[in-house]
Amino acid sequence: MQQLASNVHVSSHPLVAHKLSLLRDKSTEPKKFRELVRELSWLLGYEAMADLSVVPREIETPLELVTGSELEPKVGLVPVLRAGLGMVDAMLELMPSAEVWHIGLYRDERTLKPVEYYNKLPDAATVQVCLILDPMLATGGSSAATVDILKAWGAARIKQVSLIAAPEGVATLSGAHPDVDIHVAAVDSHLNERGYIVPGLGDAGDRQFGTFAGPGSEPGHADDETAEVVRRLQRDLGA
């Protein structure tokens, strides 16, 4: 196994390993898949925020005054549409006061390069720490582009939280932005010729939302029977 950069943090928690195995299973239905994404996001988010700073805060318990702690930086969650949406609720459970800002990027199937199609960030940064939420860190192009956007926006600190990463994606993001910490459940073997992580879990967005790219798509998409139903529907609609 190759040596990972110091900014890459792979969870060693047994619950993460267990839930990730269930997530990879191609027989896992969308409802269960979404639940697992949420659970893994909670665990990885907990680890990703372990080094956030706090300030003292005096509170009164039923018995006496005591000095407690209050999170110092404002945190922003940046789910990359659409797959990142499934990670938001879990992170908001950890950080109810976090702001949520959406960035839409899609990967051009020919060039594998990211193309921005949605960005509603305000003019200036309103948070100090941004957590980019994207289940799959594949080529790394979308993540690096998102970091470019957030740095131009004025975010002081940025972290990437993904379920699975490919070595190529880690290298791309780390090479472009070595100051960005990457928190993942696993770093897999490689990318195939279509830019999918191997062994991976298929397309995280499709598996969460019960959609697929059509016949001949990657494992984790539709089977032959389902594909035939879609072809028939398409023929009927075109009639």
pLDDT at 106: 76
Residue with tokens 């039923």: 62
Q: What is the CA radius of gyration of the chain?
A: 19
**How far is 176 from 238, CA to CA, in rounded Å?**
46
Per-residue model confidence (pLDDT) at position 185: 97
Residue in the block written with tokens 């949420």? 38
| Beta carbons within 8 Å of 23's beta carbon, 6+ residues apart | 33, 36, 37, 40, 163, 201
Q: What is the CATH number of the domain that holds 109?
A: 3.40.50.2020
Q: How many domains does the chain have?
A: 1
Separation between Cα atoms, residue 98 and residue 92, nearest integer Å: 7
Residue 15 lies in a domain: yes
pLDDT at 161: 98
**159 assigned to some structural domain:** yes
Residues of the chain with pLDDT under 50: 214-223, 226-227, 239
Catalytic residue among 24, 172, 203, 207: 203
The angle, 0 to 180 degrees and rounded to 10, between the axes of the packed helices 14-24 and 30-48 is 150
Please answer whether residues 162 and 136 qualify as being in contact, where contact means their C-beta atoms are separated by less than 8 angstroms: yes
Burial of 78 (0-12, 13-18, 19+ CB in 10 A): buried
* Interatomic CA distance for residues 160 and 133, integer angstroms: 6
pLDDT digits (tens, 9 = 90+) for 98-117: 999 988 877 677 776 778 88
Question: Which residues, 6 or more positions from 12, have their beta carbon under 8 angstroms from its beta carbon?
Answer: none
206 in active site: yes
Is 233 part of any domain?
Answer: no
Q: Does residue 102 belong to any structural domain of this protein? A: yes
Query: Is residue 108 flagged as an active site residue?
Result: no
The active-site residue out of 134, 188, 206, 207 is 206
In a domain? residue 58: yes
Tens of pLDDT along 217-233? 444 444 455 445 555 65
pLDDT of residue 216: 42
229 part of a folded domain:
no
Q: In the prediction, which pLDDT does 221 show?
A: 43
Print the domain residue range for 65: 8-210
* 1 domain-assigned: no
The pLDDT score that the predictor gives to residue 214 is: 45
Q: Match 């110091």 to its residue by tokens.
A: 6
pTM to 2 decimal places: 0.83
Is residue 134 flagged as an active site residue?
no
Catalytic residue among 51, 61, 67, 111: 111
**Which pLDDT does position 183 carry in this prediction?**
98
Within a domain: residue 219? no
Which one of 82, 107, 148, 211 is the catalytic residue? Answer: 107
**SS3 of residue 89 by DSSP:** helix
- pLDDT of amino acid 170: 96
